[in-house]
Structure 1
Amino acid sequence: MRGPVVVGVDGSPSSLVAVETAARTAERQGVELQLVHAVDWPAGPPKDGAGAWGLRPERDHTGSNGALAEAERRARRAAPRVYVRCEVLMGEPAQVLESESRDAGLTVVGHQPMGTGGHPHRSVAGQLLARGPRPVLVVCGRKEPAGPVVLVGGESTAARQAAEFAFAEAETRWVPLLLLDTRRIWQRRSHSLPTSLLIRLRERHPEVAVRRQVVRGRVRRSLIRLSADAQLVVAGSRGRGGASGPLDAAVLRDMACPVAVVRSGRR
């Protein structure tokens, strides 16, 4: 993983769980943890032509911001050895995180379960999944889940980059990797990782035990079922502004563990 782990902080229980997850991830990867709290612009448009995410950051004001102070305390308790940096930035939360994530190795956000009348694609998590430039980890489901890392296979560029991400996560977590070969009911050929890539990843991560499973039919339903016994589900996304593959915002409310979406062209 290159770059810091960036996590959005808003003081909600969901975001505090995300902070703890992000802190442990940063500690495992040996990178910096960046806590970001977004403050919406006051009424009226920004002055001096400032963008929606703001040009006037106020840094290291944790003493005057209860949400950041509590987030920093949670982060240090979860991962005592991680280096923590705090930022307060002006702007709409999703746009602030999108901007900050451009130099990040991973962006982490919480997920608030929504009722039947809600619009999950309008949430910060949903917006980042749709347009975030870097891998996004959405912390949902049960707290501190155990089990393997589950990877959705495929031959696209996004699927290949998701595979690299998933193997690295499985290695640092010391857990096996379950590789799903997806197949439509009417298709004979499954969509899996190219053999050459799988061999290379196994050579690069020799301690990761890999098991393969063919999934026929509705991939999202299978992922929801498998998430009950997994600690992370990883899939690729087709690209900025496009669909987020099987792990879009609408399916998050039913997932039982955190999910990661890796976008093509992230490097």
Structure 2
Amino acid sequence: MSGPIVVGVDGSPPSLNAVAVAAREAALRGCGLKVVHAFIWPMMVGQSPLGPADGGLRNTADRVVAEAVERARSTAPAVTVGTALVTGEVLMVLEAQSRTASLVVVGNRGLGGFAGLLLGSTAVQLAAHGRCPVMVVRGESDRTGPVLLGADGSPAGEGAVEFAFEEAGLRGTGIVALHAWTPWSVAVTPPQDPSASSALDPVMLEAGERRLVAEALAGRRERYPHVAVEHSVVRGGAREALIEASRNAGLIVVGARGRSGFTGLLLGSVSQALLHHAHCPVVVVRGSDA
């Protein structure tokens, strides 16, 4: 999707880190940046959305936006920065903005987060409901390293594969395509002959999973010939493997719901775990069936 990169701000340190990341993304993509602040206070106190000219709440909101714009311009001076101060609840505002954005970026926890929580509810809900890829900035805002792709071979994950290759091409880095499997997560057809157990052999299962990853990445190598791809197929839980691998990644990209997700759920358990515990920024890409 073409459109600006949208970054949600609330004046908190995590949101300012998100602004810096979003500005660098806009510079990489050669697109504009839109700083968005959801101005909910007038709805709570019954004031006009604009409020009086010298109103303290409106002035505070203006300062939040101005500080974010300053951070964006100091990070990427060549990027065109627009602003939107919208009256409404933050999730509804950002979901509406995501309809015309190429990427929405938010911090992992804002001013509305409770002390001790690893992730604000807005980030989780937006990752589930956003109409474009959503980046939640975790860890250091200037992380370097390869793009870590959570590859499970599901149709819902095709958007994540495409985003990972595009991002790696823009960054001039490689991709680590990590696929984690267990004997319980592999879809196999039981052999008709009970004595023919080769279909359940761990070596055969792993070979099948490697083919699954190769098929999921097929076709992108020709379109992105300069992007080096490392396949990493590990036996174990996907959440644990991806969180550990994120220590050395500049970015992690996953689908909203993989092949093990329950139909109807907008966000899978692996995606949620990464949003809470990854060591680098996380991009969640919803599938076309969302």
TM range, normalised to the smaller chain? 0.7 to 0.9
Amino acid at match of 2:245: L
Residue identity opposite 2:267 in structure 1: A
The structure with the largest alpha-carbon Rg is 2
1:99-178 to 2 correspondences below 5 Å: 99-112=96-109, 118=117, 120=119, 123-178=121-176
SS in 1 for 2:178: strand
Give the Cα separation in 2 of the matches to 1:63 and 1:78.
23
* Counterparts in 2 of 1:36 and 1:115: CA distance versus 1, 3 Å: closer
Q: Distance in 1 between matches of 2:236 and 2:28?
A: 36
Q: 1:192 to 1:20 in 2, by over 3 A?
A: farther
User: Structure 1 pair 62/101, CA: closer, same or farther in 2 (3 Å)?
Assistant: farther
Moved more, 110-119 or 71-80: 110-119
Q: Secondary structure at 2:105's aligned position in 1? A: strand
Q: Under a length normalisation based on structure 1, what TM-score does the superposition of the two structures give?
A: 0.85
Which residue matches 2:54?
Answer: none
Does 1:224 find its partner at 2:247? no
Superposed CA deviations along residues 225-256 of structure 1, whole A, max 9, x for unmatched, are: 111100000011138852235121x4433211
Percent identity, aligned pairs only, is 41
Write the distance in 2 (CA, Å) between the matches of 1:12 and 1:183.
38
Q: Which residue identity is paired with 1:17?
A: N
- Stretch of structure 1 that moved more, 182-191 or 158-167: 182-191
Look up the match of 1:36.
Answer: 36
* 1:57 counterpart residue number: none
1:82 counterpart residue number: 79
Q: What is the TM-score when the length of structure 2 is the normalising length? A: 0.78
The structure with the largest helix share of the pair is 2
Helix, strand or coil at the partner of 1:167: helix
Distance 2:13 2:116 in 1: 21
* Counterpart Cα distance in 1 of 2:129 and 2:211: 25
Q: Cα distance 1:170–1:88, how it changes in 2: closer, same or farther (>3 A)?
A: same
Q: 1:78 to 1:177 in 2, by over 3 A?
A: same
Q: Which structure 1 residue ranges, 5 or more long, are not aligned? A: 48-53, 55-60
CA RMSD after TM alignment? 2.9
| 2:271 alignment partner, one of 239, 247, 256 | 247
Matched, 1:205 2:224: yes
Q: For 1:128-161, what per-residue CA distance to the aligned partner results, in whole angstroms no more than 9, with x for missing partners?
A: 1121121000000123111110001123232111
**C-alpha contact (below 8 Å) 2:43/2:87 kept by paired residues:** no
Provide the C-alpha distance between the structure 2 equivalents of 1:252 and 1:44, rounded to a whole number of angstroms. 33
Displacement of 1:265 after TM fit?
1.7
- The answer as to whether partners of 1:154 and 1:192 remain within 8 angstroms in 2 is no
Moved more, 69-78 or 213-222: 213-222
Q: C-alpha displacement at 1:64, in angstroms?
A: 6.9
Residue 46 of structure 1: how far off its partner (Å): 11
Q: Is the 8 A contact 1:157 1:264 kept in 2?
A: yes
Q: Is the 8 A contact 1:236 1:245 kept in 2?
A: no
